[in-house]
Chain A
Amino acid sequence: MRAIVTGDRDRWVKLVMFCCASVSFVGVLLIFLFIFRESLPAITKVGIPKLFLSTDWRPKSGHYGMLAFTFGTVFTTVVAMVIAAPLGIGAAVFIDQIAPEKVGKGVRRVIELLAGIPSVVIGWFALILLVPFIRSVTGSSGFGMLAASLVLVVMSLPTITTLSAESLRAVPVELKEASAAMGATRWQSIYKIMIPSAREGLIIAVILGMGRAIGETMAVQMVIGNASQATASLLQPGSTLTTRIVQDMGEASGVFRSALFAQALMLLLLSVFLIISIRLISRERKHA
């Protein structure tokens, strides 16, 4: 009789624990639902083409095109990755393969420490040092896409380096030993054996770094200049989706506010796109 009672209780406990686990699903669902619900007025009143595919952003006269900001997000992220990906993966190779153990550990500590510094602090730092530096070198205002991209390099470096080092460490030692036994130098082992076998892990590290860069808000807002134009010039001021939201949210209402929520929806879609591509890459890895 007692066994049945405890069995019953176990089933209840399992149900409660399952509910805890499904909070993650409920969270994702609620986020989608509420961001979508709030952006609905803009989608219906402005229309999808004029909202998502136009660069015309003049909220005062009812033009809410966000393409310039989507472009700003993609552009700064790509520029940042061009710098941060080689730097981060290189640093990871250094930590994992080249540096003596103590040096590698020290480098890792510094990187972890940086990952813990709040983005507003990095932003302030860029504002008082990086912006004046760019101004004095280029003669521009200093605020703009270049400053934003460099901030994103700093913000995404810890993610890329740590994850790349992890995936390099996961390469079986036998592979490296076999390569060394065949007479390969350290460099040959690294670029012929280590990097190809860790390839998917390295790509995922860079994609997660991109995720960081796309979502970064405060630090970028402080240095990008917050102009509403679309620009591919590194020295011109611009905006990203995140910076436009914080810039305008304070005074927005009605359709204007809803258009900002539509930009958050765009950010949501961008990060879901990243997640799905990571899933596809890691599934490929399992099959290979």
Chain B
Amino acid sequence: MTGRRADKAASTVFWILGITVVVILGFIIIEIFARGLLTALNPKFIFGKPEAIKGGGGVFPMIVSTLYLVALSLIISLPISIGAAIYLSEYAKKGRVTGFIRFCLDTLATLPSIVFGLFGLALFVVYFQWSYCLMAGAFTLAILNLPILLRGTEQAMNLVPDTYREASMSLGASKWTTIRQVVVPSAMPGIITATILPIGRIVGESAAIIYTTGLFIRNIPVNPFDTAAPLAGYVWYAQTEGQGDYLRVVTAGPRCC
């Protein structure tokens, strides 16, 4: 009898734990949406320029910065990830070398984003003398996103059935032709899905970009070597500067789902 009673008690406890987690998370999500929604729908906020002195105003240059950064960073990291995934899933045999590459990827995946930020500052902004610009941020984020993007791409390629490869080889295609004509095209939908997570990280990342792309701009960035201010970093800047009615900026701010 005690066994059954313990079972009931445990079930209740786990229901409570599960519900607690959902309530905490659900509360945060609903609260953010409820606070930000009205401001976010205001065209002056979305398409306006920020005020220079009294604070507030629109965030259009920041939205452009964020989208620009997403595009640039993916253009850099996607080819590298696809190449690396081809090597790991098609060419490499399991061994010391792949083990070491995976160790490096794991290390990159756990490094704090502020470390990436300072690294980007030291290498791209100062050493390469690019100054604060989109390009510096894009390269920094490309390295930061490499582990997630590579894992997704590799999974997509592993899902391509081996029979496809064998059929292509039996028709006389070389390995590279097989990869180019068969494996990559069949994995393409999966590869595109694999970019969703990194895009979310780029949009939400602040610590890695405030020292690489810049914090505040009034004009829309055009050149990749222009200073920019992606939303997430701007939200933090607005908070620390603490001027104007920035609550609106924040709650309507960066969000990736």
Contact = CB atoms under 8 A, between A and B. Distances in A.
Nearest to B253: A121
Contacts of B207: 119, 217-218, 242, 246
Interface of A: 6-7, 9-10, 13-14, 16-25, 27-28, 30-31, 34-35, 37-38, 86-88, 90-91, 93-95, 97-99, 103, 106-107, 110-111, 113-114, 116-125, 127-129, 154, 157-158, 161, 185-188, 190-191, 208, 211, 214-218, 222, 242, 245-246, 249, 260-261, 264, 267-268, 271-272, 274-275, 278-279
Interface residues of B, number: 82
Contact of B84 (A7, A24, A120, A217): A24
Contacts of A208: 110
Interface stretch (B39-47, B50-58, B112-120, B219-227): B112-120
Max chain B Cβ within 10 angstroms of own Cβ: one of A28, A87, A216? A28
A200 B161 CA distance: 31
B133 to A, nearest CB: 18
A24 B105 contact: yes
B18 A274 contact: no
Given A17-B91, A98-B18, A125-B31, A35 B110 contact: no
Contacts of A267: 111-112, 114-115
Interface of B, secondary structure class, is helix
Given A121-B235, A121-B250, A187-B11, A91 B17 contact: yes
17 contacts: A13-B176, A16-B83, A17-B86, A24-B108, A28-B108, A90-B18, A93-B17, A99-B15, A107-B21, A113-B257, A114-B28, A125-B32, A129-B31, A157-B24, A188-B7, A217-B112, A275-B103
Given A88-B21, A107-B22, 9 more contacts: A9-B176, A13-B175, A27-B143, A30-B123, A98-B14, A117-B204, A125-B28, A125-B32, A187-B6
Contact of A188 (B3, B118, B174, B232): B3
Nearest to B175: A10
Contacts of A121: 32, 204, 235, 250-251, 253-255
A145 B1 CA distance: 45
Counting chain B CB atoms within 10 Å of each CB, the highest count among A28, A120, A157, A208 belongs to A120
